[in-house]
Structure 1
Amino acid sequence: MATTAQRPPADAPWVVQKYGGTSVGKFLTTIVDSITPSYLQTNRVVIVCSARSGQTKALGTTNLLLQASQEAMSSTCAPLKTPSSSSTPMSSSFNGGSLSSSQLSSQLARLEGAPSFHATVDKIQQDHLEAAQVAVPHRSELRTQLENEIIAECDGLREFLQAARILHEVSPRSRDVIMGLGERLACRLVRAALQDRGIASDLVTLESIVDEIDEDIVRPPSSTWESTNYLEQPFYDRLAVVLAEKIRACSGVPVVTGYFGNVPGSLLSQVGRGYTDLCAALCAVGLKASELQIWKEVDGVFTADPRKVPTARLVPAITPEEAAELTYYGSEVIHPFTMEQAIKKSVPIRIKNVENPTGTGTVIFPDHTSVTVDDDIRHDPFVDGHVEQPSPPSGSGIIERCKAPTAVTIKDNILVLNVHSNRKTISHGFFARIFGTLNRYGVVVDLISTSEVHVSMAMTAELKPRTLERLTAELEHIGTVSVLRNMVILSLVGKEMRHMVGVAGRMFSTLAEGNVNIEMISQGANEINISCVIHEGAALKALNLIHYSILELSPKPNNMEGGSFGRSFF
């Protein structure tokens, strides 16, 4: 049972905390020993977890699960060799966890021609069993129960993959089910770790939660309905209510899986890999939480990438529009659709660092032109005192912001596709044919710059070579095509830039003085983002130049020889 100090008042405000896979993988003890107990003193806490990653996302549970699903489709096996009568029967290896990891591995080793996915599932299972030893150090019976749960979950996955192999089909929905296992395993670890510290906690799994929503909301009546259609906002509104009901029914700290599968089509196609963030946002909306916290391995949003710009500083507060632009152009903050769900219900979002929990982080919330920010939003119970925000007028509760750009960011791995009409084509026909071609190949354009007979488009260079080759060949029927490779997009973002005269001139003058060639320029209609395309070889220099000349607060000399930059840098 939780101690008195760990049980908040019944009317305490809710705080929803979302932890990424690497946070759960590397900092679980910090979460359960320090972060959660501190917030429980004044708040009711909900924890939403992504699938666990040990060191990197590439080696994380989700990627291993997707690998296992591919292996189930590609495996060709010889008949299984039946164990001798003196051996433990194979059927007992799928009896809900009665065998230890070593026993299960030895039985699988006796399989002749076993599908390759077994080795991948073994890796997932072993990784979580080792994590259980660290997560639950005090109560051996609780650790044994957790280990049995992990083995049972992995046994169920083996059976599911075996069935998929026999049917020779892994549908999008089946892939969702396979991915959902990773979050169940992570949440079981977190729940057991909390219980090991004497904090009451409950596991909340959401595999069947969509079944509790009216069919007319999940699939609106329509003669043109297709499984690939996007879910409408009423679905997310209703899901938030159902999530809140499940959470309020818990007696301890709810530990919620971010996976809420069984949606039309598939969760990956409807939402994408960021569905855990979306689930956390919907929990916060349904509970009318005082704050949604996204815990990462960074202190918050910076004026530039601090790994590339030594003088980059933490931004205490940004608007949703700025966060969306930064996310799109290379600085991973939070998905705009997820952000929209929380912000439109006036739930502030705080980005915090699991390695530095006493840091203030960055708050995402509309500026004072649309919302007055209450003092509670600036208060973080983990930090002694209030979060340091830009000083508001006394008693106003309004976050005041200076009229200056917020951040500069780089989006790597870009190519530029130029199309120049060699005919006297009517301009709207020229554009229509280009965009129609892009649509057929499913190509997303990041930036575009046009004249009557010329179009330049910046897009990701991760296109398959065959796709780019066919796209270029088709566009050559419209005009002359050229491709510029090894490019990056440099973006200066700031809500208040629309009220600043000359910021674009300063940006391009700074790049020119630094001898950085600009291949393409674009500015959005919202006037909070000025972007240009430059060669990747000049990216680091350009990033530091713009930050030094436009974003740094201290006075600077007019020439480039001053400060920490000089000929030694350039």
Structure 2
Amino acid sequence: MIENSNWVVQKFGGTSIGKFSTQIVNDIIKVYSEDHGNNVAVVCSARSSYTKAEGTTSRLLLACELASNNNFEYKNVLDLVEKDHISNAKDNIQDITVQDALIENSKREICIVRRYLDASQVLGEVSTRTLDLVMSLGEKLSCLYVTALCQDSGVNARYVDLSFIVPSDYECKDGTLDNSFYTFLVTAFREKLSPILKEIEKGIKIVPVITGFFGIIPMGLLNGVGRGYTDLCAALIAVALNADELQVWKEVDGIFTADPRKVPQARLLDTVTPDEAAELTYYGSEVIHPFTMEQVIRTHIPIRIKNVQNPKGNGTIIYPSDQAKKGESTPPHPPVALTSSIFESKKKGATAITTKSDIVVVNIHSNKKTLSHGFLAEMFSTLDKYKLVVDLISTSEVHVSMALPVPDSDSQKALRSAVEELKRLGTVDVIKKMAIVSLVGKQMKQFIGIAGTMFTTLAEQHINIEMISQGANEINISCVIDENDAVRALQSIHSKLLDGPVNESFESAVNERLEQIKHMDL
């Protein structure tokens, strides 16, 4: 049995900090630290006003782009960032001493970035290293603000900057971020936090507020990890502290059986497995990146998705159903024998349903001038050349159907170029404005008829299916339909497979089996 450590790591997103910072400090950080008696570590993303487009990270990326193009407008963008954060400090920090210190520290960090971009503008390019240094400003300003807000509310918070945690001469093997790199980070985080940990051991209550930006790396943090690096940082901090729980605070109550904005009957899920959460994330639900989950789950740390606007809610726990959590000697849900009885609930297998819009279906029929293996090789080489991602694929020897996400103008331009090249291989037709509907559930493979019910339901709604695919792990059944039918598909499938009580009545099960027998080819 793994012992509890009393540490809770709380990760807050940029829009949450932008809109609910006072509630975060008073109703969450302070409550867990003082009322619940936990040791709390806080990890912050760069602060946003109301949307990501207006957020600090987006503005800093724009400033880098302008500086590299010799456009002096980058100075105005930085002025906007400075004005926003100083105004925010004056509006929300009551203690003048704390407020003045926050404004001074914020101006100093912004001044450093100005010098980086001034040099980049002269050179006419923003290097990967400079981009990382500029990007780190967002998390620094956010954490300085949250630290000041905690101090203003009587919480003994300590600002922790991780932006130089990676040595400048650190080399990644084969140019990739492998497990050895993340093991190094966990050790480095533990060493960075050790002075605070020693004070806590002496009985001094301290809440470390840690930048979600964790260092300058050879290929750049954005290229190596992507914009989800703050979630990953929080996960690695949780591992370094041997935390009892990683809490990811969002603006929803947790993970639902479907998007509650589209399906009013959607239910909040108490728990999902990492595999289910990964599938839901990939096919449209913003949950948490699978790689982030992997870091904490392998060390038996559960992830809890919670709502900053409803801090007393239980949220949704992401954890394997066959592993024991800390403080438990056995898994909470031991394996249950499954039977093939026709009276078992058809609803038992599915966990949630999600949709992904902005999908384009590309059909390629080979002209047979290329051998079948060469046909597929050339096709994937072309897609790789234009950095196009394939979400779903259906193949035969000479025919391929693919569903590709095309969410923006850059992707559309890349798709047009790719299609022109693919025409060398045969006939190509493109179907736009499609959506992927994915039914996810770890237990689905144990139950017969779920896929049939899903597709029958779509047929009853007169919704045409363009493509069908099942994931190799058998916990996901997906199909491609017209984007205009997506909400209706969600609602109807949810009604059949995810609504209502778990157990069907005996009579209902018999009637369903009789209907199946009627349609059998005897």
TM-score between both structures, scaled by the size of structure 2 = 0.88
- Does 2:369 correspond to 1:436? no
Q: Which deviates more from structure 2 when the two are superposed, residues 415-424 or residues 188-197?
A: 415-424
Deviations 1:382-430 (A, max 9, x none): xxxxxxxxxxxxx973388994211000001000000012327543232
Q: 1:475 aligns with which of 422, 425, 429?
A: 422
Deviations 1:451-489 (A, max 9, x none): 222100000123544422221121111111000000000
Deviations 1:44-68 (A, max 9, x none): 1000000000111110000011111
Aligned partner of residue 254 in structure 1, secondary structure: strand
Q: Which deviates more from structure 2 when the two are superposed, residues 498-507 or residues 36-45?
A: 36-45
Percent of counterpart pairs with the same letter? 50
Q: Which deviates more from structure 2 when the two are superposed, residues 248-257 or residues 412-421?
A: 248-257
Q: 1:550 aligns with which of 464, 477, 497?
A: 497
Deviations 1:234-291 (A, max 9, x none): 1101211221222232242111001112111111111011111111000001111000
Aligned to 1:194: 150
- Does 2:362 correspond to 1:417? yes
- Does 2:136 correspond to 1:180? yes
Q: 1:65 aligns with which of 60, 72, 84?
A: 60
Aligned to 1:451: 396
In structure 2, the gaps of 5 or more residues are 200-205, 337-346, 509-522
Aligned to 2:75: 118
- Does 2:44 correspond to 1:24? no
Provide closer, same or farther for how the CA distance between residues 12 and 323 of structure 1 changes in structure 2, counting only shifts above 3 A.
closer
Aligned partner of residue 53 in structure 1, secondary structure: coil
1:329-348 map, 5 Å: 329-348=283-302
Q: In the alignment, is the contact (CA less than 8 A) between 1:414 and 1:489 conserved in 2? A: yes
Offset of residue 375 of structure 1: 6.3
1:453-532 map, 5 Å: 453-462=398-407, 463-532=410-479
Q: Which deviates more from structure 2 when the two are superposed, residues 50-59 or residues 257-266?
A: 257-266
- Does 2:235 correspond to 1:281? yes
List structure 1 runs of 4+ shifted beyond 6 angstroms.
Answer: 399-402, 555-558
Equivalent residue letter for 1:291: E
CA distance in 1, matches of 2:250, 2:326: 25
Offset of residue 12 of structure 1: 5.5
In structure 1, the gaps of 5 or more residues are 1-10, 77-114, 378-394, 559-570
Q: Which deviates more from structure 2 when the two are superposed, residues 53-62 or residues 421-430?
A: 421-430
Aligned to 1:387: none
Aligned partner of residue 235 in structure 1, secondary structure: helix
CA distance in 2, matches of 1:301, 1:376: 24
Aligned to 1:40: 33
CA distance in 1, matches of 2:284, 2:411: 21
Q: In the alignment, is the contact (CA less than 8 A) between 2:64 and 2:74 conserved in 1? A: yes
Aligned to 2:89: 132
1:216-295 map, 5 Å: 218-220=171-173, 225=174, 229-250=175-196, 251=199, 252-295=206-249
Aligned partner of residue 474 in structure 1, secondary structure: helix
CA distance in 1, matches of 2:91, 2:21: 9
Q: 1:159 aligns with which of 115, 119, 130?
A: 115
CA distance in 1, matches of 2:312, 2:56: 29
Q: In the alignment, is the contact (CA less than 8 A) between 1:409 and 1:491 conserved in 2? A: yes
Equivalent residue letter for 2:324: T
Q: 2:486 aligns with which of 526, 539, 550?
A: 539
Equivalent residue letter for 2:33: L
Offset of residue 374 of structure 1: 5.0
Higher RCO, Cα 8 Å, sep 6+: 2
TM-score between both structures, scaled by the size of structure 1 = 0.81
Aligned to 1:397: 332
- Does 2:7 correspond to 1:14? yes
- Does 2:324 correspond to 1:372? yes
Aligned partner of residue 120 in structure 1, secondary structure: helix
- Does 2:351 correspond to 1:406? yes
Aligned to 2:515: none
CA distance in 2, matches of 1:155, 1:435: 46
Aligned to 2:344: none
Aligned to 2:159: 203
Q: In the alignment, is the contact (CA less than 8 A) between 1:65 and 1:178 conserved in 2? A: yes
Aligned to 1:319: 273
Aligned pair count? 480
Equivalent residue letter for 1:442: K
Aligned to 1:52: 47
Q: In the alignment, is the contact (CA less than 8 A) between 1:289 and 1:347 conserved in 2? A: yes
Q: In the alignment, is the contact (CA less than 8 A) between 1:49 and 1:187 conserved in 2? A: yes
CA distance in 2, matches of 1:474, 1:74: 31
